[in-house]
Amino acid sequence: MRYPRNAKIFRGQLDAAPFAGVFFSLLLFILLNSTLVFTPGVLIDLAQAEDLPGIANPSLVVALDAKGRYYFRNREITEHDLRLELRGAVHTAKSNNEELVLVALLDQQVDSQAIVRLAELARKSGISQLLQATRPRIQAIAIPGLSNE
């Protein structure tokens, strides 16, 4: 069967309206998903380190800000309530034959006494390992042919 060939090549000017519509839609999506939108959370300035190993065991994360407040499971918590939460998590993990690791997100301004209190709290709750979370160091990239002099 033969099909008629009546398609012709368009040789006129393109209409700019569809392109402008797509452009402004993309601009709107980019603006709504950018950093202009406030992300709630606690500001914690982690220490920097390089090439540290990760953990293989299940973990619990506790954050400690510069003012000495504890945060567990995305909410502020008192030291007593944190001890109860950790004990419950350890009890659940022991029933599954798992050993928990406590990962501490510590602000750089936190004093050593607060870190010792957190370690004692973890030990009394039945957690034997406490690890401090860090962020990788920012390294400068050398561009060939471009000198800083």
Q: Tell me the per-residue pLDDT of 71-122, one tens digit each, with 9 for 90 and over.
A: 998 899 999 999 999 999 999 888 888 888 999 999 989 998 999 999 999 9
Give the SS3 label for residue 104.
strand
What's the pTM?
A: 0.62
> How wide is the angle at C-alpha 45 spanned by C-alphas 43 and 50, nearest 5°?
145
Closest CA to 99 of 70, 133, 130: 130
- Domain 48-136 indexed as CATH 3.20.20.140: no
CA dist., res. 39 & res. 43, Å (int): 11
Are 66 and 109 within 8 A, CB to CB? yes
Pairwise CA distance, residues 81 & 118, whole Å: 13
> What does the pLDDT look like over 15-49, one tens digit per residue?
889 899 999 999 988 877 766 556 667 777 777 88
